[in-house]
Amino acid sequence: MQNTYSIKATARIAGLLYFLQIPLGVFGIIYIPQVLFVPNDLSATISNILANESMFRMSIVSAIVCALVTVLTAYFIHKVLRPVDKTLAQLIVIFTCIVTPITMLNELNHIAILLILKNNEIKAAFSTNQIHSAIRFFIELHHYGLQIANIFFGLWLLPMGYLVIKSGYIPKIIGYLLLLTCFGYLIDFTAFYLFPDFNFKLSEYTWLGEVLMVLWLLLKGVKLEEYQKLYPTS
């Protein structure tokens, strides 16, 4: 069993990694597409990508790095929560190991856009309309890929939230809010595929659990007294 100093250090490493996911994910997955992609105006979108190619490439790298950091985050959170239930703690890692390749492979859709726009042979072989159709296809495919990834970005919070509730050394309210965040992701995924014209995203209002988990791990780690009572070191 980890000693109390080790568990607190592990928790803070988990919190730091979890915190790093925020700027990486926001920049790569949310901010850059919102800046460069113009709704219902593909020509403007293409112009933005070509004029800001470095920024577009940075968004791809950021999304990939975020996926890798997610696995590391899950590993350290699993170490923090493993004393509660080893099997459920392992599920946290397993779900992120599933979502990481999905997220990384999904970025190939953005890479494909660059290849089409930068390859002179492709531009010479196909008409402008065909090229625009291909770019529109890859933009949409990337969006659909993100929704699939949301399944597992939600599911890794399910065992995490449950274990937090049962742990006694992390506030239960954080666990309940993590479960709410989980269901927000899963409901968004379901709504996106069943009702594609329904634009409301529940996950935009259920994110508090993850933020509180990050802050708790970073600032507090665990409640050492409670941890010692439940899992005394030998």
pLDDT digits (tens, 9 = 90+) for 135-145: 999 999 999 99
Whether pTM exceeds 0.85: yes
Query: Is 230's pLDDT higher than 90?
Result: no
**pLDDT grade for 234, boundaries at 50, 70 and 90:** very low
| Contact assessment for residue 62 and residue 119, using Cβ atoms and an 8 Å cutoff | no
In Å, how far are 32, 41, 141, 177 from 50, measured between CA atoms? 13, 15, 20, 41
Question: Which tokens belong to 79?
Answer: 């170490």
pLDDT digits (tens, 9 = 90+) for 91-142: 999 999 999 999 999 999 999 999 999 988 888 889 989 999 999 999 999 9
DSSP secondary structure code for residue 41 in this structure: -
pLDDT at 130: 93
Question: What is the percentage of the chain residues whose pLDDT exceeds 90?
Answer: 75
Alpha helices in 107-127 (DSSP H): 108-118, 120-125
pLDDT at 204: 86
- Give the Cα separation of 223 and 209 in Å (integer): 18
What is the SS3 string spanning 198-225? CCCCHHHHCCHHHHHHHHHHHHCCCCHH
Torsion of CA 137, 143, 144, 150, to 10 degrees: 170
| Contact assessment for residue 183 and residue 206, using Cβ atoms and an 8 Å cutoff | yes
Task: Give the chain's count of helices (H) and strands (E).
Answer: 12, 0
Using the CB atoms, write b or e for 39-57: b if 16+ within 10 Å. eeeeeebbebbeeeeeebe
**pLDDT grade for 201, boundaries at 50, 70 and 90:** confident
DSSP secondary structure code for residue 38 in this structure: P
Tell how far CA 2 is from the center of its chain: 28
- Give the Cα separation of 64 and 59 in Å (integer): 9
- Give the Cα separation of 52 and 50 in Å (integer): 5
For 193-204, what is the mean pLDDT?
Answer: 85
- Give the Cα separation of 214 and 195 in Å (integer): 32
pLDDT at 124: 86
Query: Is 1's pLDDT higher than 50?
Result: no
Q: What amino acid is encoded at 165 in this protein?
A: I
In Å, how far are 28, 36, 222 from 4, measured between CA atoms? 36, 48, 9
pLDDT at 198: 80
- Give the Cα separation of 193 and 211 in Å (integer): 27
Residue 226, classed as helix, strand or coil, is helix
Question: What is the percentage of the chain residues whose pLDDT exceeds 70?
Answer: 97
What is the widest separation between alpha-carbon atoms in the chain?
72
pLDDT at 5: 60
**pLDDT grade for 14, boundaries at 50, 70 and 90:** very high
Tell how far CA 57 is from the center of its chain: 18
pLDDT at 4: 57
pLDDT at 213: 96
pLDDT at 181: 95
pLDDT digits (tens, 9 = 90+) for 43-71: 999 999 999 999 999 999 999 999 999 99
Q: What amino acid is encoded at 140 in this protein?
A: E
